Structures are given as C-alpha cells and as structure tokens.
Amino acid sequence: MFTASKRLKIGLIGLGKIAVDQHIPSIRANPALELVAGCSPSSRVDGLAGYNTMEEMLAAHPEIDAIAICTPPQIRHAIAKKVIAAGKHTFLEKPPAATLGEAEAIAALAKAKGVSLLASWHSRFAPAVEAVRQWIAERDISSVKIVWKENVRQWHPGQKWIFEAGGMGVFDPGINSLSILTAILADAVIVKKADLHIPVNCEAPIQVEMDMTTENGLPIRAEYDFLQTGIQTWSIYIESAKGEKLALHLGGTELEINGHVKIKEKEAEYSGLYAHFLSLVNAGKSDADFAPLRIVADAMLLGKRIAAPEYIE
C-alpha cells in the first residue's frame, strides 16, 4: 500500500510521443515520484526498463503503485480494467476513453476497488486558465468563441488511429479547448449544432464548426481545423456584457485583456497534472470529470456529417 512518506512509484502503458514528450520528463522532474518502468509491444525508451505487456511489467516490478495509461483511447477501457483490478492508482491520458459509457465504467471500477483515478485534462493546468475563470466569475459574459486550428501532419505524424472510429479526429486536440471551457464556466455547456467535415476515407472529422450554449443562454461558438498551415491557433475569445474583451492564446499560456498581455508563461501542464495526481493518491480521492468528453459525444450524436476530400498524410 502506498504511503505519503515514500515516493509514488509509477509505470507507463504506452511509450509513444505523448509519453516521451510529456509524461516521462514530468515524472522524473518531481522528487516525490519515481518512474519505474514502461510497457509497449513496439516501443522502448532509453534508460527506462521496458516490457511488452502490463503483466510482464508488474511481474517484474510489483512495487509499482500507480500506472499512467498513454495509449490511444480506443483500447483504454480494457487496459484500465486490468490496471484497476491489479489495485493500481490510475492516470488516464486525455480523452479518458473512446466513449462516455467506457469512461463512466472506469470510474465505477476505480471507486469499487478503492484506487484513485485521474481523468487528466492537461489544458486545465495551463498557467492562465485560473485567471480566466476568476475574470468570468466577476462579470456578466455575453459571448465565447473558440478557435482551435492546427496541422495534423505536424503534430500527429503517422497516428492513423486518430482518424479511425473512436479516434475523435480534430476533436482530439479540440477537446483540450472544451476542458478549459468547462473549467472556466460555472454552468453546464450544451451542444446545439455541429457540422462535422469527415474525409471520405476516414471515420472521424477533420474540421468542425459547432454552436453551444450554457443553461443560462450564453452563446458559444467553436471552430476546429486539422488542416491549418502557417500560424497554429489555440485561442478562446470572451466578451463581457460591458464590452470588455479577453483572449486566451496558445492553449492557455498567454492571456490578453482589452489588448494588453497580462500573463505569458511557458507551458508546464503535465508537471501540474502529476502534482495533482499525487495529491489525489495521498488523499484517497479521484478526479473523474467527463464533461469535455460528453460535449464531444453530443456533437457526434447530433452533428451533420459533411463529406470532405480524401485525407492523405
């Protein structure tokens, strides 16, 4: 059993780009954490004990307290069941699962087993997000617009799963904006209309235009594009009833209010996520908010499907 007096020993399932770029350096930078091993049927990381399966990893390292699951979402539910059954605290990379039903099932299993679960939304830990939440809380807001546009060929090279069923397409990065949206707004967000542009050779959208509202009638517009060239855009624009204008840029690292930069910091989201995960384990609690995934599910449920040109990487 893990006690707060020792380092939390962590194993990784999935050793792809997100694990290498974010999870591994963030775990190693935290003195309260210890990265023990990782498993993947096809990848290895220099300096990290590697195994083909979770079973092999846990057999060799039964001391592991927690596991971060960094696989594509389509297989995450089945893996999470095994991790929780083994009694390990569980860190789910975003999105937490391929469907809302799977995510809720994972949460129920973790609660029944008594392990901590984190459905991680890394963008909520961007440096300017909390300041935006406070700004909104003090004002009447008249509109919100999300513009989230990036080049899939640059950021997701070779990741064919992202356009397969359950891969979410442009919602894979777009859900980051929805995680911020649901963190900064006090009211529930409801999807009203969505245009889903799906390449004829894919099963998930490459572009989306979506209209939403809160229970109190606040209009929210979101525009997502996976074919953006040139400047990459991860921004949220908010206007108050008095005409004040706020802009959150670069995924939450830069904040402008009425054209003046108020916050501009480097991204360090995963460091915050792992500190949060450790606090959950120490307190015997979980953080399993699925609101961003529910918005994507609703968009896919009522969205109009529009045939887009074939996508070729």
> What is the per-residue pLDDT across 132-141, written as a single tens digit (0 to 9) for each?
999 999 999 9
DSSP class of residue 227 equals: B
Q: Are 18 and 93 in contact (CB under 8 A)?
A: yes
Percent of the chain past pLDDT 90, that is, above it, reads 95
Three-state SS at 183:
helix
Report the distance separating Cα 114 and Cα 88, nearest Å. Answer: 9
Three-state SS at 119:
strand
Catalytic residue among 9, 81, 82, 94: 94
Report the distance separating Cα 43 and Cα 221, nearest Å. Answer: 40
DSSP class of residue 150 equals: -
Three-state SS at 13:
strand
pTM: 0.93
Q: Is the pLDDT reported for residue 203 higher than 60?
A: yes
Q: How confident is the model at residue 1 (pLDDT cuts 50, 70, 90)?
A: low
Q: Which of 72, 41, 70 is nearest to 57 (CA)?
A: 41
For 179, residues 6+ apart whose C-beta sits below 8 A from its C-beta are 94, 121, 122, 123, 124, 292
Report the distance separating Cα 270 and Cα 200, nearest Å. Answer: 35
Q: Are 252 and 262 in contact (CB under 8 A)?
A: no
Q: Quick one: tokens of 261? A: 């930069």
Report the distance separating Cα 170 and Cα 168, nearest Å. Answer: 6
Q: Is the pLDDT reported for residue 4 higher than 70?
A: no
Q: How confident is the model at residue 184 (pLDDT cuts 50, 70, 90)?
A: very high
pLDDT value, residue 267: 85
As a whole number, mean pLDDT of residues 23-46 equals: 96
Three-state SS at 71:
coil
Composition of the chain by helix, strand, coil, percent to 5: 35, 30, 35
Q: Is the pLDDT reported for residue 271 higher than 70?
A: yes
pLDDT value, residue 253: 96
Judging by beta carbons within 10 Å of its beta carbon (0-12, 13-18, 19+), is residue 313 exposed, middle or buried? Answer: exposed
Q: Is the pLDDT reported for residue 3 higher than 90?
A: no
- Our answer to whether residue 6 is catalytic in this structure is no
Q: Quick one: tokens of 101? A: 């039903």
The residue to which tokens 């953080």 are assigned: 287
pLDDT value, residue 2: 60
Q: Is the pLDDT reported for residue 13 higher than 60?
A: yes
Q: Is the pLDDT reported for residue 239 higher than 90?
A: yes
Strands of the chain (E only): list them. Answer: 8-13, 33-39, 49-51, 66-69, 89-92, 117-119, 141-149, 189-199, 207-214, 219-225, 233-240, 245-249, 254-257, 260-264, 304-308
As a whole number, mean pLDDT of residues 248-262 equals: 97
β-strand pairing of 49-51 with 33-39:
parallel
If you average pLDDT over every residue of the chain, what do you get?
96
Report the distance separating Cα 75 and Cα 149, nearest Å. Answer: 26
Q: Is the pLDDT reported for residue 174 higher than 90?
A: yes
pLDDT value, residue 268: 87
Q: Are 50 and 39 in contact (CB under 8 A)?
A: yes
Q: Quick one: tokens of 114? A: 């008594």
